[in-house]
Amino acid sequence: MAKSKEKNQKSAQENSYTAKDIYVLEGLEPVRKRPGMYIGSTGVDGLHHLIYETLDNCIDEAMIGYAKNIALTFLPENRVRVVDDGRGIPVDIHKQTKKSALETVMTTLHAGGKFGGDAYKVSGGLHGVGISVVNALSKWLKAEVCRDGAQYAQEYVRGAPQYPVKKIGKCQGSGTAVTFEPDPEIFKEIAFDWNRVLDHIRQQAYLTKGIRVSIIDERDSETTKDGSLLKTSYSFYFEGGIISYVKYLNRNETPKHDTIFYVGKEIDVGENRKIFVETALQYTDDIQAKEMSFANNIYTAEGGMHLTGFRTALTRALNDHAKKNEYFKKEDETLTGDDVREGLTAVISVKIQNSALQFEGQTKAKLGNPEARTAVETVVGESLKDWLEQHPRDSQEIIGKALLAQKARKAAKAARETVLRKGALEGMMLPGKLADCQSKDPSESELFLVEGDSAGGSAKSGRDRRFQAILPLRGKILNVERARLDKMLASKEVKSLIIALGAAIGDEFNEAKLRYHRIVIMTDADVDGAHIRTLLLTLFYRYFPTIVERGYLYIATPPLYRIQSGKNVRYTYSDEEKDKAITEFKKIKMEARKQKAAKTEKKEGQETEEEPAEETTGESASQKDPELKGIEIQRYKGLGEMNPPQLWETTMDPQTRLFKQVTFKDATEADRIFDILMGDEVLPRKKFIQTHAKAVKNLDI
């Protein structure tokens, strides 16, 4: 009886989704003038935002139970097609605009079914600008709708309809298909990233369990012998939802307990509104935490109220359980938030009635709803308390890990107090190996982290003392991926670096005290140099993330070769550049010989005598190319082989040097890569190397 009533209500809601459910707030014209206001940027991020906005409409249909299948297809000529089997956008005449509801939705900013009525109680499209913005920023777009057995369509060029919505045939079922081509006038580079979109789609499938989301690539498809099209495709379907997501996030980790905590519950937050809270968590032997928070399926990279509520509930529940079961040795002992989050993998998802959803900015990076904090704190707090009681072995592992983290935190605090004394932080006790610069202005000061004392000596002699400081590092520093802070601070090289930077470390990092705003990793161009560079990158990513986020971290690019022909000198940074330079020098020498021959009265065909060849590539005389006579090729195996003027000219002079700025746009992916490359598990690292080995053009062993 209950099921029949629910079915009738759903059917009535489906039939009531008509033009009257579309609310219009303003026009579309501002979008093309200021696209960055609506999609963040006109770069790669903004380009992919078009896909996500289109996909969000399909996910919204799935979240309220109408769509079960969604497919995204990359087509040739930079076109993307997104299809769902939801109700289909209404096509009847809109009362306010006197146009088809489909045209209204596609061509009017802030027009959609998410501002009032019951068409969408929960959705990710807060501002209603999604599909209309996609249309405005597309060179061409076609919308197709299947409703009530009829198929309708309308095409647009840069947001302008090319004809009224028209019926183009019959169809079965219902749904919407949107095909668009981004406008090259807006996006200077149009190159969709398959892996980026694949990850996003996988994530959405985890968050909306029971739906099937497919992604197909037809851009470089091949035709088989039988005439069928060979396509790259993936299809995601997760019955376990966010429990499956936690398992996926921990695929390269060793879990501390087998049972994954899960709760999914709707809670009344007053004013006739409810919030659905869904959370899953598991601890691993890692020392880093992975917390993924979502609001209406939108990833909130900067967290927000729901994440705050989760952290509060987690800390309180574990402390209460530890006290109740006498895990603490002292009565006033307690676990901090950092203690309970070490090794944690958690997915926190809330679904809020659309009209009440509050984000900070159009990019939706942080949830602002205060009631979400209360809802998550209540639901997770009560459920986790019961779960810990019902799973004594799992709770013992979790509390044990938190207590170990507490012990390490206290040891790290003691180590910090020893290492980072007040005098050191104020620059009065800088490490002896540091050759500091004269400038006290961080915005112009540079710190070069140089591999080895030999290269450090050259750098010290070749630098501009006014603004360039040199800190030589001896050997490979500690791998901090699996090392807690107390062990890390025992490393002499790491300790020297922390003191030189002057801004403390970890949670105590103070950007205002950072002594250099350009920190440059300068290592040899060989395997050992690459390893040292990776160890330093791991250190900065894990313990100085602000330095990376602010764009203060750089990698120097010293040349691989010095090529000289007569008075002409060229530095090259790859084998390809070296070969090109040699070819150019050969042409110059050939032209010089011709000119010299033309000025002499020697017999026809007689060659002029050439200067002796000098080549320092390490090859034997019999292996040398005769055409290289007079061309000197020096291969730099290390920075120490360069004299100070050469190191300055090629690697340190702001006018000629080549720096790579270190950034991480996708923190989750960066975290995964660091974990694979620098963690304890060998198998994932081996698989990663095998997968990407072909992409390595030059491997110096």
Six-digit token string for 151: 């198929």
State how far the alpha carbon of 216 is from the alpha carbons of 71, 168, 257, in Å: 8, 26, 37
How many other CB atoms are found less than 10 A from the CB of residue 508?
A: 11
The total number of residues shown for the chain amounts to: 701
Which of 377, 524, 649, 675 is labelled catalytic? Answer: 524
Instruction: For tokens 């290289």, name the residue.
Output: 628
Q: Which of 199, 397, 444, 528 is catalytic?
A: 528
Strand partners of residue 472: 450
Task: Tell me the longest C-alpha to C-alpha distance in the chain.
Answer: 112
CA–CA gap between residue 58 and residue 66 (Å, rounded) = 9
Q: Respond yes or no: is residue 524 known to be catalytic.
A: yes
Residue 477 DSSP code: P
How far does Cα 28 stand from its chain's mean position?
A: 31
CA-nearest of 216, 211, 221, 220 to 234 is 216
Contacts of 653 (CB under 8 A, 6+ apart): none
Distance CA 278, CA 207 (A): 10
The beta-strand segments (E) located in 424-517 are: 446-451, 468-473
Residue 148 annotated among the catalytic residues of the structure: no
Task: Choose, from 61, 339, 446, 451, the residue flagged as catalytic.
Answer: 451
| CA atoms within 13 A of residue 525's CA, in its CB half-sphere | 18
693 φ/ψ angles, rounded to the nearest 5 degrees = -60, -40
Instruction: State yes or no: is 526 an active-site residue.
Output: yes
Q: Buried b / exposed e across 651-662, counting CB within 10 Å, b at 16+?
A: bbeeeebebeeb
Of 291, 453, 486, 526, the catalytic one is: 526
Query: How far does Cα 345 stand from its chain's mean position?
Result: 18
**One-character DSSP codes across 633-652:** EEE-SSGGGS-HHHHIIIII
Q: d(Cα 643, Cα 632) in Å, to the nearest integer?
A: 17
Strand runs (DSSP E) across 535-591, as ranges?
553-556, 561-565, 568-572
3-state secondary structure of 359: strand
451 given a catalytic annotation: yes
Buried b (16+ CB within 10 A) or exposed e, 290-320: bbbbbbbbbbbeebbbbbbbbbbbbbbbbbe
- Token readout for 248 is 């996926």
Give the active site residues: 451, 524, 526, 528
